[in-house]
């Protein structure tokens, strides 16, 4: 199930989720401008390369996915659900609107 969640919901859920994985699906260049701490980076624009990397991920975990604005991470959620991942969350507004902790 893919769910669009706000920043507040994201932080609340992630704080009590011991199976949480933060997934950044932006490009290398975007990541270089800053990112949310403790994330795993897989660039969705790599197409099949992205799908190959996603296939190696643990399906028992819960994935909190973000991109720049929320569009690509929404696509990533749908793709991952089709691949058998049960719990994916898409950060509404993406990194562009994130005011939580970041690494520059």
The 10s digit of each residue's pLDDT in 85-98 is: 999 999 999 999 99
pLDDT, tens digit (0-9, with 9 covering 90-100), for 55-68: 999 999 999 999 99
Report the side by side order of strands in the sheet with 2-5.
Answer: 2-5, 88-91, 62-66, 20-24, 39-41
Per-residue pLDDT, 42: 98
- Per the prediction, the chain carries an average pLDDT of 97
Mean pLDDT of 66-88: 97
Domains of the chain: 2-97 (3.40.250.10)
Residue in 25, 67, 80, 91 annotated catalytic: 67
Which distant-in-sequence residues (6+ apart) come within 8 Å of 66 by Cβ? Answer: 22, 23, 24, 25, 26, 36, 73, 90, 91, 94, 95, 98
Is 77 among the catalytic positions?
no
pLDDT, tens digit (0-9, with 9 covering 90-100), for 12-27: 999 999 999 999 999 9
The answer on pLDDT for 2 being more than 90 is: no
């Amino acid at each position: 199930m893919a769910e669009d969640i706000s920043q507040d919901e994201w932080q609340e859920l992630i704080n009590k989720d011991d199976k949480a994985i933060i997934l950044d699906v932006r490009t290398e260049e975007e990541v270089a401008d800053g990112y949310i701490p403790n994330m795993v980076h897989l660039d969705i624009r790599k197409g099949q390369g992205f799908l190959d990397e996603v296939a190696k991920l643990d399906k028992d975990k819960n994935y909190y996915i973000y991109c720049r604005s929320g569009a690509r991470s929404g696509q990533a959620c749908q793709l991952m659900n089709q691949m058998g991942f049960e719990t994916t969350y898409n950060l509404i507004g993406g990194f562009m609107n994130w005011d939580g902790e970041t690494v520059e």
